[in-house]
Amino acid sequence: MALVTTAEVCDANSQLIATGELRALQPVFQIYGRRQVFSGQIVTLKVFEDNVLVRELLEEKGNGRVLVVDGGGSLRCAILGGNPVVQAQNNGWAGIVVNGCIRDVDEINGCDIGVRALASHPMKANKKRTGEKHVPITVAGTRIRDGEWLYADTDGILISPNELSV
């Protein structure tokens, strides 16, 4: 989706929007990381105030994918920090979307990866290894399934069941 904005995608795909195939996340996310525009196939993760599975997934090769983490919208601690984001950048992840908080913002903002989160928080998460990988999640009013496609820029975030070509 080089040089095509999410707004242009929406304008060109009104039928997909009408059928619910193309969905926009509610505008609740802050923009972090150096890569403000990113896209890729989605890997889903559901956790709550625990970041062990987040770290494990980001240690895998990203191959241009996007990790979407449903952290339950918790604003009580960060479930993503600088070290895993550096690892994600080095492992070829395109981006990370967190329905929750991050920390180490200055470090994350220096990374060539796209990161979206609700806010930043200095407290770290638990390390109990609880959560579920590759399950359907609901983030920012939208149901998201493992394997779908995410497109993000400064206007917002779109979800599609298929890779889009415009």
Q: Mark the binding-site residues, compressed into ranges.
A: 81-84, 103-104
Answer yes or no: is pLDDT of 1 > 50: no
Half-sphere exposure of residue 100, counting CA atoms within 13 Å on the CB side? 29
Residue 34's nearest CA partner among 114, 151, 116 is: 114
d(CA 73, CA 57): 20
How does pLDDT run across 28-84, given as a tens digit for each residue?
A: 999 999 999 999 999 999 999 999 999 999 999 999 999 999 999 999 999 999 999
pLDDT at residue 165 greater than cutoff 80:
no
| Residue 83, pLDDT score | 97
Domains of the chain: 6-160 (3.50.30.40)
First to last CA, the chain: 7
Q: Could you tell me which residues are annotated as the binding site for substrate?
A: 81-84, 103
| Residue (of 140, 108, 87) closest to 35 by Cα position | 108
Which tens digit of pLDDT belongs to each residue from 96-110? Answer: 999 999 999 999 999
Give 42's contacts (C-beta < 8 A, 6+ positions apart).
65, 66, 67, 68, 144, 145, 146, 147, 148, 149, 150, 159
CA 112 – CA 93 distance, rounded (Å) = 10
Q: Measure Cα distances from 96 to 16, 32, 34 in Å.
A: 24, 10, 12
In whole numbers, what is the pLDDT of the chain averaged over residues?
95
Positions at the binding site for Mg(2+) = 104
Residues facing 159 on adjacent strands: 23, 150
**How long a stretch of residues is the chain?**
166
Summarised one tens digit per residue, pLDDT across range 130-145 is 999 999 999 999 999 9
pLDDT band at 166 (very low <50, low <70, confident <90, very high): low
Centre a 10 Å sphere on the Cβ of residue 86 and count the other Cβ atoms it contains.
17
Q: Whole-model pTM? A: 0.95
